[in-house]
A = this chain, B = another copy of it.
Amino acid sequence: MSKQAETVRAENPPATPPSTSPVSSSSSGRMAGEERRRQLVAVAMRVFSERGFRGTTTKEIAQAAGVSEGIIFRHFATKEELYTAIIDYKACTGVSHLNQSVAEAIHCSVAEAIQRKDDRAVFEGVALHLMQHHENDTEFLRLLFYSALEGHQLSQIFWDRNVRLMYEFLGAYIRERQHEGVFRPVDPLVVVRAFSGMLIHHSVTNILWDTSRSLLDISNEAAAREFTEILLRGIAADANAATSSATTTTTTTTQPTRRDPSKRGAAALPTGRAKKKK
């Protein structure tokens, strides 16, 4: 009897519990391991997004989840590991039930418009989709900014999986349309930065500063329409443009899309389950 507790490690066998249905908590608050684990991550995500990593205590998370503090450390060796687990949780939960990031979902949703080369539909679709997502999942943006400020890798991974991806596919589309003479020659990446700046900054402002919309009250639909209008007019080729006009001021042709092939592997999860590493 005395050794019993010793064997209980955070070591969690990946095999799903036996065949019998581990349906959600029956009468008491007790849950199956996997279920509790996922609930903890979900709760932690919310609390971390509200107060940041350093500002959140494990006790708060436990209380929010309705369990004792010790339970957290049965599932996660450290608070850090719980934080990092959000990455995988988000990767599997990002949008719908598929394994795709927000950027991938957006890309898919405008794929048809891209093929039709309907510029307005492409940019307006991206804009609306992104801003809608931010509005429905403010946790995400807060988490993104908190982790960036706190210097956590969470931030870089989210960034790469979303913004960076958007740079790639929007940049490619712009470049294509430039070759067709529809868009004037500007560095496509600058254009993407300008556009994503409008979108992200609009969402961030709504979430962080102008929560009561006292400065600017506009629906996501209208905002998407206006931002798109400004951008498309802003990068449209001159009407009377000859083929090789140097246009106005732009120097154009900075380096073409820099991709980083070494970056994207399978879902990065460096969390070794080994004991502490402090």
Q: A55-B150, A197-B202 are in contact. Are A230 and B226 (CB under 8 A)?
A: no
| Chain B residues whose C-beta falls within 8 Å of the C-beta of A209 in the assembled complex | 148, 155-156, 159, 163
| Chain B residues whose C-beta falls within 8 Å of the C-beta of A225 in the assembled complex | 249-250
> Could you tell me the distance in whole angstroms from the C-beta of A191 to the nearest C-beta in chain B?
7
| Chain B residues whose C-beta falls within 8 Å of the C-beta of A51 in the assembled complex | 54, 150
| Chain B residues whose C-beta falls within 8 Å of the C-beta of A187 in the assembled complex | 216, 218, 226
Chain A residues numbered 201-244 whose CB sits less than 8 Å from any CB in chain B = 201-202, 205, 208-209, 212, 214-218, 222-223, 225-227, 229-236
Q: A194-B198, A251-B222 are in contact. Are A208 and B164 (CB under 8 A)?
A: no
Chain A residues numbered 24-61 whose CB sits less than 8 Å from any CB in chain B = 51-52, 54-55
Say if the beta carbon of A273 comes within 8 Å of chain B: no
Closest to A212 in B: B260
Q: Please count how many residues in chain A sit with their CB below 8 Å of the partner chain's CB atoms.
A: 60
**Which of the residues B150, B216, B250 comes within 8 Å of A190, measured between beta carbons?**
B216
| Chief secondary structure at chain A's binding surface | helix
Binary interface encoding of chain A residues 240-267 relative to chain B, with 1 for a CB under 8 A from any of its CBs, else 0 = 0000000011110010001110000000
Closest to A51 in B: B54
Say if the beta carbon of A142 comes within 8 Å of chain B: yes
Closest to A227 in B: B194
B52 x A150 contact (CB < 8 A) = yes
| Chain B residues whose C-beta falls within 8 Å of the C-beta of A236 in the assembled complex | 233
Say if the beta carbon of A89 comes within 8 Å of chain B: no
A193 x B214 contact (CB < 8 A) = no
Closest to A262 in B: B212
Say if the beta carbon of A149 comes within 8 Å of chain B: yes
Say if the beta carbon of A189 comes within 8 Å of chain B: yes
Say if the beta carbon of A167 comes within 8 Å of chain B: yes
Say if the beta carbon of A199 comes within 8 Å of chain B: yes
**Which of the residues B52, B196, B233, B250 comes within 8 Å of A226, measured between beta carbons?**
B250
Q: A187-B218, A214-B260 are in contact. Are A230 and B145 (CB under 8 A)?
A: no
B205 x A201 contact (CB < 8 A) = no
Rank and list the top 5 A-B pairs by shortest CB-CB distance, nearest first: A197-B201, A230-B234, A234-B234, A54-B55, A214-B260
